[in-house]
């Protein structure tokens, strides 16, 4: 079974230890344009986004030492942290994944960068890659 109406890769996220240094590298060495820097309080990270629309690159840097991203950096060092797939209906996607026995980290969506609803699927349930599902703000219906 496939997830319904999945537009594709939204972004890849790279965990970094020093956000400013990493931003400078991506700007100066790869020549990428920085779109925005955002602190996501709910996730205790600062993010820097390069590019617009599909296929963005997101640098993530923890703002606290007891978070998943901080533990990732401690254990494995800098590197690819997760990929993110844009979905039209995150609740339907999570229900489908759960029915198929996928290992969900978040059974219900939480607030992510840019006002999106996000949920993570465990790498063990996603061929070794931590995977974020994201329903962008334009697709989130106001609750009645
Ligand atoms: Co992400």
- What is the reported pLDDT for 136? 87
Helices (H) and strands (E) in the chain, counts: 3, 8
Domain ranges within the chain, ordered by starting residue: 8-135
Q: How far is the CA of 84 from the centre of ligand 1 (A)?
A: 6
Q: How far is the CA of 12 from the centre of ligand 1 (A)?
A: 7
What is the C-alpha separation between 90 and 69, in angstroms, rounded?
Answer: 23
User: Tokens for 40?
Assistant: 């996501």
Helices (H), 45-136: 68-76, 90-99
Spell out a b/e string for 91-129, using b for 16 or more CB atoms within 10 Å of the CB, else e. eebbebbeeeeeebebeebeebbeebbbbbbeeebbeee
pLDDT tens, position by position, for the chain (144 residues)? 555 555 789 999 999 999 999 999 999 999 999 999 999 888 899 999 999 888 999 999 999 999 999 999 999 999 999 999 999 899 999 999 999 889 999 999 998 877 899 999 999 888 899 999 999 887 766 544
- What is the reported pLDDT for 14? 98
Class of domain 8-135: alpha beta
Q: How far is the CA of 101 from the centre of ligand 1 (A)?
A: 23
Q: How far is the CA of 38 from the centre of ligand 1 (A)?
A: 12
* Cα atoms in the Cβ-side hemisphere of radius 13 Å centred on 56: 21
Q: What residues have their beta carbon closer than 5 A to ion ligand 1?
A: 13, 84, 132
Q: How far is the CA of 83 from the centre of ligand 1 (A)?
A: 7
Q: How far is the CA of 132 from the centre of ligand 1 (A)?
A: 6
pTM summary value = 0.85
- What is the reported pLDDT for 144? 44
**Residue owning tokens 């219906």:** 141
Helices (H), the chain: 19-28, 68-76, 90-99
- What is the reported pLDDT for 104? 96
| CA-based nearest residue to 79, from 87, 66, 69 | 69
- What is the reported pLDDT for 69? 95
**Residue owning tokens 């229900």:** 95
- What is the reported pLDDT for 6? 54
């Amino acid at each position: 079974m496939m997830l319904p109406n999945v537009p594709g890769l939204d972004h890849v996220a790279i965990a970094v230890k020093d956000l400013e240094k990493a931003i400078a590298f991506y700007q100066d060495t790869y020549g990428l344009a920085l779109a925005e820097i955002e602190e996501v309080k709910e996730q205790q990270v600062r993010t820097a986004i390069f590019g617009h629309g599909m296929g963005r690159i997101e640098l993530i840097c923890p703002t606290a030492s007891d978070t998943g991203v901080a533990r990732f950096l401690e254990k494995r060092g800098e590197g690819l942290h997760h990929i993110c797939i844009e979905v039209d209906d995150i609740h339907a996607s999570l229900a489908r994944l759960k029915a198929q026995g996928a290992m969900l980290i978040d059974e219900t969506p939480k607030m992510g960068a840019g006002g999106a609803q996000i949920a993570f699927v465990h790498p063990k349930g996603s061929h070794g890659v931590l995977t974020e599902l994201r329903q962008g703000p334009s697709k989130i219906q106001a609750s009645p």
